[in-house]
Amino acid sequence: MAINKKVIIASLLLLALGGITVWIFFPVETDKEVFVAEPEWGCNIRQEERIVRGNSLEGLIESGKTIRVLFGYYDCHEIEREDMVLYSYAGNEEPLLKIIKGIGGDSLELTEAENGWNILINGEVLQNSKGEPYFLDERRHRMLSLYESDYYGLIPEDAYLIMGNLATGSTDSTRYGLIHIADILGKAELPRLE
Protein backbone atom coordinates (compact mmCIF):
# COMPACT_ATOMS: atom_id res chain seq x y z
CA MET A 1 0.00 0.00 0.00
CA ALA A 2 1.45 3.36 -1.06
CA ILE A 3 1.58 5.99 1.67
CA ASN A 4 0.63 9.54 0.70
CA LYS A 5 3.67 11.70 1.53
CA LYS A 6 1.51 14.84 1.87
CA VAL A 7 -0.58 13.13 4.57
CA ILE A 8 2.54 12.13 6.51
CA ILE A 9 4.09 15.61 6.24
CA ALA A 10 0.85 17.37 7.24
CA SER A 11 0.37 14.98 10.16
CA LEU A 12 3.93 15.43 11.42
CA LEU A 13 3.61 19.21 11.08
CA LEU A 14 0.38 19.23 13.14
CA LEU A 15 1.99 17.09 15.85
CA ALA A 16 5.14 19.26 15.90
CA LEU A 17 3.10 22.45 16.25
CA GLY A 18 1.93 21.69 19.70
CA GLY A 19 1.91 18.02 20.54
CA ILE A 20 -1.80 17.87 19.87
CA THR A 21 -3.63 15.20 21.82
CA VAL A 22 -6.39 13.74 19.72
CA TRP A 23 -9.38 11.65 20.69
CA ILE A 24 -10.98 9.55 17.98
CA PHE A 25 -14.73 9.43 18.45
CA PHE A 26 -15.85 8.03 15.11
CA PRO A 27 -13.41 5.42 13.77
CA VAL A 28 -14.31 2.63 11.41
CA GLU A 29 -12.81 -0.85 11.23
CA THR A 30 -11.66 -2.78 8.17
CA ASP A 31 -13.86 -5.72 7.24
CA LYS A 32 -12.90 -6.72 3.69
CA GLU A 33 -11.04 -5.28 0.75
CA VAL A 34 -11.52 -5.42 -3.04
CA PHE A 35 -9.62 -3.71 -5.88
CA VAL A 36 -11.66 -1.90 -8.51
CA ALA A 37 -10.15 -0.43 -11.67
CA GLU A 38 -11.58 2.43 -13.72
CA PRO A 39 -9.59 2.10 -16.95
CA GLU A 40 -11.40 4.98 -18.64
CA TRP A 41 -10.00 7.30 -15.95
CA GLY A 42 -6.65 5.56 -15.68
CA CYS A 43 -6.87 5.14 -11.93
CA ASN A 44 -7.07 2.28 -9.50
CA ILE A 45 -9.63 2.38 -6.73
CA ARG A 46 -9.29 0.13 -3.72
CA GLN A 47 -12.62 -0.69 -2.10
CA GLU A 48 -13.02 -1.69 1.54
CA GLU A 49 -16.03 -2.32 3.70
CA ARG A 50 -15.78 -0.80 7.15
CA ILE A 51 -17.99 -0.65 10.21
CA VAL A 52 -18.96 2.78 11.58
CA ARG A 53 -18.19 3.34 15.27
CA GLY A 54 -19.66 6.40 17.01
CA ASN A 55 -22.60 8.77 16.59
CA SER A 56 -21.16 11.61 14.48
CA LEU A 57 -23.51 10.78 11.59
CA GLU A 58 -26.50 9.77 13.73
CA GLY A 59 -29.72 10.06 11.75
CA LEU A 60 -27.84 9.42 8.51
CA ILE A 61 -25.67 6.39 9.31
CA GLU A 62 -25.91 4.73 12.69
CA SER A 63 -23.06 3.18 14.67
CA GLY A 64 -22.54 -0.46 13.68
CA LYS A 65 -23.59 0.03 10.04
CA THR A 66 -21.28 -1.05 7.25
CA ILE A 67 -20.03 1.44 4.69
CA ARG A 68 -18.00 0.99 1.53
CA VAL A 69 -14.89 3.18 1.18
CA LEU A 70 -13.39 3.86 -2.24
CA PHE A 71 -9.71 4.69 -1.66
CA GLY A 72 -8.14 6.53 -4.61
CA TYR A 73 -11.57 7.66 -5.88
CA TYR A 74 -10.62 11.34 -5.74
CA ASP A 75 -7.49 10.73 -7.82
CA CYS A 76 -9.92 10.62 -10.78
CA HIS A 77 -13.07 12.38 -9.56
CA GLU A 78 -13.96 15.81 -8.20
CA ILE A 79 -14.94 16.14 -4.55
CA GLU A 80 -18.54 17.33 -4.39
CA ARG A 81 -20.63 18.98 -1.71
CA GLU A 82 -22.49 16.35 0.38
CA ASP A 83 -19.96 13.59 -0.45
CA MET A 84 -19.32 11.36 2.54
CA VAL A 85 -15.54 11.02 3.01
CA LEU A 86 -12.95 9.30 5.16
CA TYR A 87 -10.58 11.90 6.61
CA SER A 88 -7.11 11.40 8.09
CA TYR A 89 -7.16 13.36 11.35
CA ALA A 90 -3.76 14.45 12.74
CA GLY A 91 -1.98 11.20 11.94
CA ASN A 92 -4.33 9.00 13.94
CA GLU A 93 -4.46 5.34 13.07
CA GLU A 94 -8.22 5.39 12.48
CA PRO A 95 -9.75 8.00 10.12
CA LEU A 96 -12.96 9.96 10.69
CA LEU A 97 -16.12 9.70 8.59
CA LYS A 98 -17.57 13.12 7.67
CA ILE A 99 -19.65 14.95 5.06
CA ILE A 100 -18.33 17.64 2.71
CA LYS A 101 -20.41 20.76 3.41
CA GLY A 102 -18.26 23.45 1.80
CA ILE A 103 -15.88 23.33 -1.17
CA GLY A 104 -13.28 25.67 -2.68
CA GLY A 105 -14.88 28.88 -3.97
CA ASP A 106 -17.90 28.70 -1.64
CA SER A 107 -18.60 31.73 0.52
CA LEU A 108 -18.29 31.09 4.26
CA GLU A 109 -20.04 33.35 6.75
CA LEU A 110 -20.91 33.02 10.43
CA THR A 111 -24.03 34.81 11.63
CA GLU A 112 -25.06 35.41 15.20
CA ALA A 113 -28.17 33.54 16.32
CA GLU A 114 -29.81 33.33 19.72
CA ASN A 115 -27.09 32.14 22.14
CA GLY A 116 -24.60 31.23 19.40
CA TRP A 117 -23.84 31.30 15.67
CA ASN A 118 -24.95 29.61 12.44
CA ILE A 119 -22.77 28.74 9.45
CA LEU A 120 -23.79 30.14 6.07
CA ILE A 121 -22.46 28.58 2.87
CA ASN A 122 -23.21 30.62 -0.25
CA GLY A 123 -25.70 32.68 1.76
CA GLU A 124 -27.72 29.67 3.01
CA VAL A 125 -27.81 28.46 6.62
CA LEU A 126 -25.96 25.14 6.70
CA GLN A 127 -28.17 22.26 7.86
CA ASN A 128 -27.73 18.59 8.66
CA SER A 129 -29.71 15.77 6.99
CA LYS A 130 -32.61 16.34 9.42
CA GLY A 131 -32.98 19.99 8.32
CA GLU A 132 -31.54 21.29 11.61
CA PRO A 133 -29.16 24.27 11.35
CA TYR A 134 -25.66 23.68 12.65
CA PHE A 135 -25.27 25.73 15.83
CA LEU A 136 -21.87 26.93 17.05
CA ASP A 137 -20.92 27.69 20.62
CA GLU A 138 -18.22 30.29 21.40
CA ARG A 139 -15.27 27.88 21.02
CA ARG A 140 -16.45 26.46 17.68
CA HIS A 141 -17.28 29.96 16.43
CA ARG A 142 -13.74 31.15 17.25
CA MET A 143 -12.23 28.31 15.20
CA LEU A 144 -14.25 28.96 12.02
CA SER A 145 -14.14 32.75 12.37
CA LEU A 146 -10.37 32.57 11.81
CA TYR A 147 -11.01 31.10 8.36
CA GLU A 148 -13.83 33.53 7.65
CA SER A 149 -11.56 36.53 8.30
CA ASP A 150 -8.26 35.14 6.93
CA TYR A 151 -9.80 34.05 3.61
CA TYR A 152 -12.19 37.02 3.28
CA GLY A 153 -15.26 34.81 3.50
CA LEU A 154 -14.24 32.37 0.74
CA ILE A 155 -13.15 28.75 1.10
CA PRO A 156 -9.80 28.41 -0.75
CA GLU A 157 -9.28 25.90 -3.57
CA ASP A 158 -8.39 22.40 -2.32
CA ALA A 159 -9.87 23.22 1.12
CA TYR A 160 -13.10 21.78 2.50
CA LEU A 161 -15.54 22.32 5.35
CA ILE A 162 -16.46 18.89 6.73
CA MET A 163 -19.15 18.16 9.28
CA GLY A 164 -20.83 15.33 11.09
CA ASN A 165 -24.63 15.14 11.22
CA LEU A 166 -25.07 16.51 14.76
CA ALA A 167 -26.47 20.06 14.77
CA THR A 168 -24.24 21.04 17.73
CA GLY A 169 -21.12 19.75 15.98
CA SER A 170 -18.76 16.85 16.46
CA THR A 171 -15.07 16.24 15.82
CA ASP A 172 -15.27 18.15 12.54
CA SER A 173 -14.28 21.50 10.96
CA THR A 174 -15.86 23.33 13.90
CA ARG A 175 -13.06 21.87 16.06
CA TYR A 176 -10.07 21.84 13.71
CA GLY A 177 -10.98 24.13 10.82
CA LEU A 178 -10.98 23.63 7.08
CA ILE A 179 -9.16 20.57 5.79
CA HIS A 180 -6.90 20.10 2.78
CA ILE A 181 -7.59 17.71 -0.07
CA ALA A 182 -4.45 15.71 0.83
CA ASP A 183 -6.12 14.53 4.05
CA ILE A 184 -9.16 13.04 2.33
CA LEU A 185 -8.51 9.31 2.01
CA GLY A 186 -11.52 8.24 -0.02
CA LYS A 187 -15.22 8.43 -0.74
CA ALA A 188 -17.59 6.54 1.55
CA GLU A 189 -20.94 5.08 0.50
CA LEU A 190 -23.53 2.73 1.83
CA PRO A 191 -22.93 -0.68 0.24
CA ARG A 192 -25.11 -1.60 -2.74
CA LEU A 193 -27.90 -4.03 -2.02
CA GLU A 194 -27.25 -7.26 -3.89
Fold of the domain spanning 5-189:
Umud Fragment, subunit A (2.10.109)
Would you place residue 19 in the very low, low, confident or very high pLDDT band (cuts 50, 70, 90)? Answer: very low
Instruction: Summarize pLDDT for 35-67 with one digit per residue, the tens.
Output: 454 544 568 899 999 999 888 999 889 999 999
Cα maximum dimension of the chain: 52
Q: What's the CA gap between 102 and 119, in Å, rounded? A: 10
Beta bridge pairs of residue 37: 44
| Listed residue (29, 34, 32, 100) closest to 65, CA to CA | 29
Residue 123 has pLDDT above 70, yes or no: yes
The pTM for the full model equals 0.77
* Domain extents in the chain: 5-189
Are 170 and 89 in contact by the 8 Å Cβ rule? The answer is no
pLDDT score recorded for residue 114: 86
Residue 34 has pLDDT above 90, yes or no: no
Rg (CA), the chain: 17
CB within 8 Å of 69: residues ≥ 6 apart:
28, 47, 48, 49, 50, 86, 185, 186, 187, 188, 189
